[in-house]
Structure 1
Amino acid sequence: MLCLPSSSAFRPADPAARGAMASQQQRQSFPHASTAARGMLSFSSAVPSGPADPAAQQQDFRMREFDYFVVVDFEATCEKDSRIYPQEIIEFPAVLVDAATGGLLSSFRTYVKPRHHPVLTAFCSELTGIQQEQVDGGVDLATALALHDKWLAAAGVAKNRLAIVTWGDWDCRTMLKFECNFKNISKPSYFNQWVNLRIPFETAFGAGRRNLQEAVREAGLQWDGRLHCGLDDARNTARLLVELMRRGVRISITGSLVPPPLPEPEPEPEQEPELQHQRRCGDHTRTNARTILLRLWELDADMSFLPLGCLIAGHLDSIASSALRLASYYSLIHTHGVHA
């Protein structure tokens, strides 16, 4: 397992300390987009598309929904022109981004040993650059998730104040969800919702089919690293995220495995006393209707009374009252042995 801190110093997780550092950075100019991956970034009014006032720009970043973004990009077992089942994660990378300043704080990576297809295909190794000995020395997925959790804890990241960021929905909605379900692995709840960066990217640059590398270049950034290396992909996604933040694009949750909560039922308006009385009578009639039908059946009443029972079941108060009297009459006849 490799924990790879960025070249810049770790920023404190304490909001007050981070706020103080952010205030100092207001006086700094924002680096050119091509240098975004080299360290922590600051924001200023020098960016034409951002707020005109540097203080307003810094405040805009502070008022975002999250304190941190965790950018992930899994690599998994694969084969050319065919599907492997079950597909398994073999590289688990992540990049931590400060949501207030856009700083790339730290990186995490561990290789994961596949259980069902332990030998990588030649196509998979060529595509991802992952070698057989790397996955042979890897950990299982449950351990990878635990190590990732410890990495966040060591950085002082509150789990309820972070958002997972991906390029597309595949990482969280498909790959991680499927493998955890298939292997009966419990994953941290913060993986149940995420930001698909394609959506805010299209807000800024318009709709259209683009892969990650094309999107990075369209945003004016230079691709850094090897395509389909999970950690390099995550770093470039993080740089693209920061560029969108720099342009003032709102970053919020776009996908979730948790169904939305049902709306609270509206309270019923208070009814007039007469309406309340009628409602209680209606409830009482529904109960009596079943009792009356059963009683008529027990008394071996004539079958011609069944339509009357149906009307009673329809909650007609006047007919229900008559039926009650009729039931009493039949009870009297039955008790005294009198036949009509």
Structure 2
Amino acid sequence: MSIEAKFLHLQAIHNLLAPYRYLYCVDLEATCDEVDESESARKLVVVSDQMETIEIGLVVIDLELLEIVDEFQRFVRPQINPTLTDFCKQLTSIQQSDVDGALTYQEVGDELRTFAASYPDAAWASWGDYDARQLERDAGFAACPSLLEGLPHFNARKWHAGLYDDRPKSLEQAVESLGLVWQGTYHRGIDDAKNVASIIKEMLG
């Protein structure tokens, strides 16, 4: 990829973000299941179209300062499959007690809207499009607005692909490829959100 092409891509990203003062970097963890190689064949407890958010991590970047200025983290109590699978607990490090005492998707949405009122003129970004699809799925289950209803969404993974020649398979690999230090635990919403923010700050800086 030529230097000129990268410059034009970066300019396009800045133009997309120009109307906004804040960018929310978001990562979700959700109910999930997978059959381990050591197990005999069985049906999945959680199928893909019934995945529910169990954690939202959100980090606020002030786009004028290009600095992280706040964060929001909540566990969410799942309704369809309230008992987490062993696979899910191992993958995310989220435990049953974390979600048993958590608020519902709609209640978390109310808290998030109160939080977001302090940071208007915002858009949000995630590593890929999964998080945007998952929030819509959750909203359908709960028959309420999506947690980030009305805010434009940007795919930070596509931004990265347009600026760098490597194609990291995971968020962790993307952090490493930029020479950044990984923060926290992989597959934890708030930690992954911080790492997405780190990548975006590096790209925009």
Bin for the TM-score computed over the shorter chain: 0.7 to 0.9
The SS at the match of 2:54 is strand
1:99 corresponds in structure 2 to 63
1:117 pairs with 2:78: no
The SS at the match of 1:78 is coil
Alignment of 1:34-113 (within 5 A): 64-81=18-35, 82=44, 83-84=46-47, 85-113=49-77
Distance 1:209 1:239, change over 3 A: closer
How far 1:105 moved relative to its partner?
0.6
Query: How far apart, in 1, do the equivalents of 2:51 and 2:109 lie?
Result: 17
1:157 corresponds in structure 2 to 119
1:177 pairs with 2:136: yes
Alignment of 1:153-232 (within 5 A): 153=117, 156-158=118-120, 161-172=121-132, 174-187=133-146, 188-191=148-151, 193-206=152-165, 208-232=167-191
Q: Note the aligned Cα RMSD (angstroms).
A: 2.1
TM-score w.r.t. length of structure 2: 0.82
TM-score w.r.t. length of structure 1: 0.51
4+ residue runs of structure 1 moved beyond 6 angstroms?
Answer: none
The question of whether the paired residues in 1 share the 8 Å contact of 2:20 and 2:122 is answered with yes
2:41 corresponds in structure 1 to none
Code of the aligned partner of 1:190: G
Give the number of aligned pairs.
182
The SS at the match of 2:195 is helix
Alignment of 1:159-308 (within 5 A): 161-172=121-132, 174-187=133-146, 188-191=148-151, 193-206=152-165, 208-246=167-205
Query: How far apart, in 1, do the equivalents of 2:55 and 2:141 lie?
Result: 18
Code of the aligned partner of 2:119: V
Question: Cα deviations across residues 42-84 of structure 1 (Å, max 9, x unaligned)?
Answer: xxxxxxx99xxxxxxxxx89x8231000011010000114443
How far 1:182 moved relative to its partner?
2.8
How far 1:209 moved relative to its partner?
4.7
The question of whether the paired residues in 1 share the 8 Å contact of 2:105 and 2:142 is answered with no
The SS at the match of 2:124 is strand
Query: How far apart, in 1, do the equivalents of 2:149 and 2:166 lie?
Result: 31
Structure 2: runs of 5 or more not aligned: 1-5, 8-13, 36-43
1:137 corresponds in structure 2 to 101
The question of whether the paired residues in 2 share the 8 Å contact of 1:75 and 1:230 is answered with yes
Query: How far apart, in 1, do the equivalents of 2:131 and 2:105 lie?
Result: 14
How far 1:207 moved relative to its partner?
5.8
Structure 1: runs of 5 or more not aligned: 1-48, 51-59, 247-340
Code of the aligned partner of 1:245: L
How far 1:204 moved relative to its partner?
1.4
Query: How far apart, in 2, do the equivalents of 1:182 and 1:232 lie?
Result: 26
Larger RCO of the pair (alpha carbons < 8 Å, separation 6+): 2
Code of the aligned partner of 1:125: K
Query: How far apart, in 2, do the equivalents of 1:91 and 1:225 lie?
Result: 15
The question of whether the paired residues in 1 share the 8 Å contact of 2:27 and 2:131 is answered with yes
- The structure in which a higher percent of residues are strand is 2
The SS at the match of 2:196 is helix
